[in-house]
Chains A and B, each alone.
Chain A
Amino acid sequence: MEKETCRGAFSKKILEEAKKDRDIVVVCTDSRGSASLGSYPEELPEQFVEMGIAEQNSVTVSAGMAYMGKKVYAIGPASFYSMRSAEQVKVDMAYSHNNVKVIGISGGISYGALGATHHSLQDIALMRAIPNLIVEIPSDASQMTGLVDAFLATETPAYIRIGRGAVPTIYPKDVKVEIGKAIRHGDGTDAAIMACGQMVWRALEAAKLLEEQGIHVSVWDVHSLKPFDEAAVIEAARACGCILTVEEHSIYGGLGSAVTEVVCANHPVPVAVAGIPDEDVPNGSDSEVFEHLELDPKGISERVKKLMERK
């Protein structure tokens, strides 16, 4: 299975685009290494701003630059950008209509044993409640690359969360990403799995396991948490009669909540929310934690079977 990191894909794409557009600026918070920025700072020093370890100021300064017409990509750890500078995102980006895209790297539990200080498991709950903000979690490197094209075509500010490790490639390299549109994989109607980020390939693997057992499911890649594809949720509810949501986020306020809100209001069917429970996360790699929490392909397939009993 081919694998690539989303951060690597972003860096490659943004360097390519920034060479063509002098208004693109990349902002770092002592994070050029962890962001895999590579040669960008050396190749385009006039379009690179190092802010030091100061996420709040990084967002605000980015907003000031955006007000002057710059297209700013602020990249650093999701845990700090989403919570420490949440107010700056709300006020200086979203409320102020300043075209800044925050790329939160090493999101979810990517940092593993570095612990809760470095995990971002509440970011989607927070960010999706902010008006005038796009919220995206791409599921593979191709989608990340396609998202940059989509972002360059909109002045709406955005928060993007990506993971640290390489993820299996799901989409072709030149995939076009439509912000606000979920992507359906498969046409099974026994159950729907709606997932985002690096849980998408796990959901697709779970679908294969289920297929072997004669259970036919559809998997939706819900990369846009905002704008949220309500039509896709209603379609999943109608077509499959039950939905399992899978996310690398607290079970509160993320994809599961978003799906539940839409299902309850439009087409009530059983929904199960799989994510990080409301408790401390054990030390370990993300894969180890996912297995422990039954968020690996096998665990996901078992959850689907349990959910189907409620149909």
Chain B
Amino acid sequence: MSLSLEKKKQLLLQASEVRERTAELIVHGGGGHIGGDLSETDVLVNLFDYMKHDPKNPKWDGRDYFVLSKGHSAEAYYVLLNEYGYVPQGELDAFGSFGAKLGGHPTKKVNGVEANTGSLGHGMGLATGMALALKMNRKDNRVFVLTGDGELAEGSNWEAAMSAAKFKLTNLTWIVDRNRLQISGSTEDVMPLDDLEKKAESFGFHVIVIDGHDMDAIREALESRTEGKPTCIIANTVKGKGLYCAENQASWHHKTPTAEQLERMKADMESYRKELA
């Protein structure tokens, strides 16, 4: 079902706010993986609007499950969890301080978080196990896992992909934040990943390639499933999206904006929101 114009506008507005607040959080907290935070934002915002979940009852057994395998991109996730009421403002404000509940990688101690991640190449297997258990219990809840693209050099992802296909996990959707950059440069220089679409297909996935900043395309892909196969959404994104100086810059994998850069970003976001309105 395509998004109504109103819903699309609402999601774009929220994504813009999440981007701005993520940058603020990183500046306030003294650092974060801003590049991947900003590339994944549209997918996250759309997914949280689409998934079945209840912030008032985080352990509701009818919920869908989300695993952030690229755990380093935690800041945008925290901001979104805060927007939905899972994470109180006080916890968010404490990010970066000694003893804070919110660390550089998410843990289940944080309300709404389903998996401890941070070491790359674990989320796919965890999500596969979760989806398999749901299938064993004849439940129709869905499981979504978001990986990075540089992360896919970890072989454990491909072990997990093989097993997800073996178990015919229609209830599993793997989303790749395909921003094509990692800390040392282009993913294709560091460890070539293309043709990722063919790779995922040959591993037995129903594959959809989209513009990861196109809200309509994201929603359509989240809805798309093929019986007997897990789904892989390759979301082509821009690393650092929305922070003018960080877009498509590998050096912004983990970097803190200066006060001036943050102000300029806030102004950009503000004028973007006015345009949308």
**Interface positions of A (Cβ within 8 A of B):** 25, 46-47, 49, 51-52, 54, 56-57, 59-70, 87-88, 91-92, 95-97
Q: Is the CB of A64 within 8 A of B130?
A: yes
A54 to B160, CA, bound (A): 9
> What residues of A have a CB within 8 angstroms of the CB of B114 in the complex?
67
Among B125, B136, B137, B163, contact of A52 (Cβ-Cβ < 8 Å) = B163
In contact, B156 and A63 (Cβ under 8 angstroms): no
Known contacts A54-B163, A57-B163; is-contact A96 B130 (Cβ 8 Å): no
A-B CB proximity, top 5 nearest: A64-B129, A60-B125, A57-B159, A68-B133, A61-B129
A64 touches B162 (CB 8 A): no
A52→B129 contact, CB < 8 A: no
Q: Which residues of A contact B122 (CB under 8 A)?
A: 60, 88, 91-92
Pairwise interchain contact B159-A96, C-beta atoms closer than 8 A: no
CA distance A15 to B132 in the complex (A): 21
Can you list 23 residue pairs at the A/B interface with Cβ under 8 Å? A25-B136, A52-B162, A54-B162, A54-B163, A56-B125, A56-B156, A57-B162, A57-B163, A59-B125, A61-B126, A61-B132, A63-B125, A63-B126, A64-B127, A65-B132, A65-B133, A66-B129, A67-B126, A67-B130, A87-B119, A88-B125, A92-B126, A96-B108
Instruction: Quote the shortest CB–CB distance from B195 to chain A (angstroms).
Output: 23
Chain A residue numbers with a CB within 8 Å of B152 are none
User: Which of B108, B119, B128 is within 8 Å of A64, CB to CB?
Assistant: B128
A61 touches B125 (CB 8 A): yes
Decide if A57 touches B116 in the complex (CB within 8 Å).
no
Known: A67-B130, A70-B133, A91-B122. 4 other contacts (CB 8 A): A52-B166, A56-B159, A67-B115, A67-B126
Contact B160 A61 (CB under 8 A): yes
A49 in contact with B115 (CB, 8 Å): no
> Are B132 and A64 interface neighbours, CB within 8 A?
yes
Q: Considering the complex, which residues of chain B in the window 110-128 have a beta carbon less than 8 Å from any beta carbon of chain A?
A: 114-116, 118-119, 122, 125-128
Shortest B269–chain A CB gap in Å is 35
Whole-angstrom distance from the CB of B71 to the nearest CB of chain A? 10
Distance to closest chain A CB from B66 (angstroms): 13
In this assembly, does B11 line the interface, its C-beta being within 8 Å of a C-beta of chain A? Answer: no
The answer on a CB contact under 8 Å between B126 and A57 is no
Do A91 and B119 touch across chains, with their CB atoms under 8 A apart? yes
Residues of B within 8 A of A63 (CB): 125-126, 129
Q: How far is the CA of A92 from the CA of B71 in the complex (A)?
A: 13
Contact call B137/A64, Cβ cutoff below 8 A: no
Contacts of A49 in B (CB 8 A): 132
Q: Which residue on chain B has the smallest CB distance to residue A88?
A: B122
